[in-house]
Chain A
């Protein structure tokens, strides 16, 4: 009787162990399988993102106007765009392209600087301020991120139309679309992005740090510049970078709000595209990609240096 109980007990335990082991093995398998499929997925995602871009870069060096053949390496297309040639496009001129590029830089830089300052202030007042309706403004912040860009573009264009009409009636001055309207448009959508990024950084900041600064005799101004600002600087930089890249390649808002002589590079390239995709367009796009990459790397390095060992 006692023996029986004992053996049963033992065999039970054995069963248990076997089950455990099987479960463990299955778990391991799932883990490994999961890992593998996860890796595959992330590679697929990576390819999906980058393959078209690699193809574009590849063809910008292809010594053929046709996409279906590869005839070796050339820098012809790069040379062309600096030699007033762009395939069959008779309107192309290097001067116009460079002008569009300068316009783009000017618009993006101005819009970024303004949006970064306003966006950071918005984030600060939302995180630190105590005023009625703060919570609603907080959620309104996401609006420009989610509403379609075309809505923004059209609504801004309409708004400017009304302003122009008003000014014409009051003052008799005929205002028109141009850099100012483009920059205002870019600032309008960039503020949200900057504010959201800075706000996230502020939310992660230890509020005791500011109190410690007050405690040690720093007033509000000193506390902001010596404690708060260095703490949120990575967020401000990230927000500015985001704003700059969004602004640099913005087409929709720019399209609805540009005027004579304020063509930016995306508008210019799109104008070229209307006829056909030429290798010269590939070359311009590749150059823009390189420029963006340089900016990103530069800002990353700068952030790291600024933050020391953080």
Chain B
């Protein structure tokens, strides 16, 4: 792959606890490698340490231990104003006493760019973000979306090697948000700047990022492409946080070639793919995850067709909901309830199954995955 841009090595950030409280480990021994030109998303629930991670890279916080490396250089002791990164803040942090143009020109002025050149570059940055005509206005005279774009222009005009974005779309309404997601993505591809993007919205992360790091409680649980994270979540948290998932509790009977056979009760056992370095042994209690849209449902009148790659088990429909694009069934299998999503197409419509109906549920073997708790 291409060059390494940003690297965190066993980075820890601890905030001292107040008045007898324990210290908070906002970032707990993180390892992270981000490559040149990537659109990288840090995804996780509120309070998991996303902002702190970004602030460590930007230089607003110093790590308690561990390293931050940018462009191969150790950043310890390098102040924020000497780092080749720029930030788009969650609340934009536009300077209220300056006009839009002065805001965008600020970074250039600090770099000693001469006035005419600075004006030219600032104007073209404003053009890039689609705001050529509001140079004289002050931040508070702008809408949220416009402020967001000015903040983006102000950071981009510095031609940073890495752009850090802390939930930059958080304050926008859904429609504008969707549009900005696409625009940002296009802009990033065009400029080739490395973006590190913080969000707690899994859909946003999936839409925009080349790779995603899922965080929880200061730890990175999994790093991968959106499809990897979605298809092969390593932990229960990741599977649950991204998309909808069925969890089946069971007992591991035996393993063979990274496939475990799990007894889920009532004499039903299913195979499940084991992630790498999975430590479970025969006899352990384990969790298996299957995405609802990867499960098919079939009437008992159709002949059973289980084979090596397909798993097929009997069940009973307990609930059925029509929700427009999909029909959602809840099927009782052994002691578990499986949610099944069937897309309503011209070919499947009218094949509705009724509650209490006995059915087969089936899936391709690779869809059932053993999780690390």
CB distance from B1 to the nearest CB of A (A): 28
- With a cutoff of 8 Å between Cβ atoms, the chain B residues found around residue A308 in the complex are 97, 138
B96–A310 contact, CB under 8 A?
yes
A289 at interface by CB-CB < 8 Å: no
A216–B154 contact, CB under 8 A?
yes
Q: A206, A230, A310: which contacts B91 (Cβ < 8 A)?
A: A206
A215 at interface by CB-CB < 8 Å: yes
In the complex formed, the residue of A with least CB distance to B164 is: A215
- With a cutoff of 8 Å between Cβ atoms, the chain B residues found around residue A231 in the complex are 96-97
Interchain CA distance A206-B151 in the complex, whole Å: 15
4 further contact pairs, Cβ within 8 A, besides A217-B82, A218-B81, A222-B110 = A208-B93, A211-B58, A211-B80, A215-B58
In the complex formed, the residue of B with least CB distance to A233 is: B97
In the complex formed, the residue of B with least CB distance to A307 is: B97
In the complex formed, the residue of B with least CB distance to A229 is: B97
In the complex formed, the residue of A with least CB distance to B112 is: A217
Give A210-230 as 1s and 0s: 1 = Cβ < 8 Å from B's Cβ atoms: 011111111100100011001
B89 at interface by CB-CB < 8 Å: yes
CB distance from B273 to the nearest CB of A (A): 44
In the complex formed, the residue of B with least CB distance to A219 is: B81
Residues of chain A at the chain B interface (Cβ within 8 Å): 206, 208-209, 211-219, 222, 226-227, 230-231, 307-310
A contact face: mostly helix, strand, loop, or mixed: helix
- With a cutoff of 8 Å between Cβ atoms, the chain B residues found around residue A227 in the complex are 95
Interchain CA distance A239-B107 in the complex, whole Å: 31
In the complex formed, the residue of B with least CB distance to A216 is: B107
B351 at interface by CB-CB < 8 Å: no
B47 at interface by CB-CB < 8 Å: no
A216–B158 contact, CB under 8 A?
yes
Q: Which 7 A-B pairs have the closest CB atoms?
A: A216-B107, A208-B93, A217-B110, A214-B80, A212-B93, A230-B97, A218-B110
B323 at interface by CB-CB < 8 Å: no
* Interface pairs (27), CB distance under 8 Å: A206-B91, A211-B60, A211-B80, A211-B87, A211-B93, A212-B89, A213-B95, A214-B79, A215-B86, A215-B155, A216-B110, A216-B154, A216-B155, A217-B81, A217-B82, A217-B107, A218-B106, A218-B110, A219-B81, A227-B95, A230-B97, A231-B97, A308-B138, A309-B138, A309-B141, A310-B96, A310-B140
In the complex formed, the residue of B with least CB distance to A209 is: B93
- With a cutoff of 8 Å between Cβ atoms, the chain A residues found around residue B154 in the complex are 216
A215–B97 contact, CB under 8 A?
no
- With a cutoff of 8 Å between Cβ atoms, the chain A residues found around residue B79 in the complex are 214, 219
B138–A208 contact, CB under 8 A?
no
Interchain CA distance A230-B96 in the complex, whole Å: 10
Among A208, A216, A218, residue most surrounded by chain B Cβ atoms (within 10 Å): A216
B93–A206 contact, CB under 8 A?
yes
- With a cutoff of 8 Å between Cβ atoms, the chain A residues found around residue B81 in the complex are 214-219
Interchain CA distance A75-B245 in the complex, whole Å: 91
- With a cutoff of 8 Å between Cβ atoms, the chain B residues found around residue A213 in the complex are 95, 106, 110
CB distance from B157 to the nearest CB of A (A): 9
- With a cutoff of 8 Å between Cβ atoms, the chain A residues found around residue B93 in the complex are 206, 208-209, 211-212
Q: A208, A215, A222, A307: which contacts B80 (Cβ < 8 A)?
A: A215
Interchain CA distance A214-B140 in the complex, whole Å: 22
B191 at interface by CB-CB < 8 Å: no
> In residues 174-228 of chain B, which contact A (Cβ within 8 Å)?
none
CB distance from A257 to the nearest CB of B (A): 40
CB distance from A227 to the nearest CB of B (A): 6
Interchain CA distance A215-B156 in the complex, whole Å: 12
In the complex formed, the residue of A with least CB distance to B91 is: A208
Interchain CA distance A109-B305 in the complex, whole Å: 96
- With a cutoff of 8 Å between Cβ atoms, the chain B residues found around residue A230 in the complex are 97
B158–A217 contact, CB under 8 A?
yes
- With a cutoff of 8 Å between Cβ atoms, the chain A residues found around residue B111 in the complex are 217
Interchain CA distance A223-B158 in the complex, whole Å: 17
In the complex formed, the residue of A with least CB distance to B107 is: A216
- With a cutoff of 8 Å between Cβ atoms, the chain A residues found around residue B59 in the complex are 214
A216–B97 contact, CB under 8 A?
no
- With a cutoff of 8 Å between Cβ atoms, the chain B residues found around residue A310 in the complex are 96-97, 140
B95–A209 contact, CB under 8 A?
yes
A212–B87 contact, CB under 8 A?
yes
Interchain CA distance A117-B216 in the complex, whole Å: 47
In the complex with contacts A308-B97, A310-B97, A215-B138 CB distance below 8 A: no
CB distance from B142 to the nearest CB of A (A): 13
CB distance from B24 to the nearest CB of A (A): 17
Interchain CA distance A219-B89 in the complex, whole Å: 19
CB distance from A228 to the nearest CB of B (A): 11
Interchain CA distance A231-B106 in the complex, whole Å: 16
Interchain CA distance A212-B140 in the complex, whole Å: 17
- With a cutoff of 8 Å between Cβ atoms, the chain A residues found around residue B91 in the complex are 206, 208
- With a cutoff of 8 Å between Cβ atoms, the chain B residues found around residue A226 in the complex are 106
In the complex formed, the residue of B with least CB distance to A226 is: B106
In the complex formed, the residue of B with least CB distance to A210 is: B93
Interchain CA distance A216-B60 in the complex, whole Å: 12
- With a cutoff of 8 Å between Cβ atoms, the chain B residues found around residue A309 in the complex are 138, 140-141
Interchain CA distance A197-B35 in the complex, whole Å: 48
Interchain CA distance A101-B97 in the complex, whole Å: 38
CB distance from A225 to the nearest CB of B (A): 12
- With a cutoff of 8 Å between Cβ atoms, the chain B residues found around residue A212 in the complex are 87, 89, 93-95
In the complex formed, the residue of A with least CB distance to B102 is: A226
Interchain CA distance A214-B141 in the complex, whole Å: 24
CB distance from B47 to the nearest CB of A (A): 18
- With a cutoff of 8 Å between Cβ atoms, the chain A residues found around residue B60 in the complex are 211, 214-215
- With a cutoff of 8 Å between Cβ atoms, the chain A residues found around residue B89 in the complex are 208, 211-212
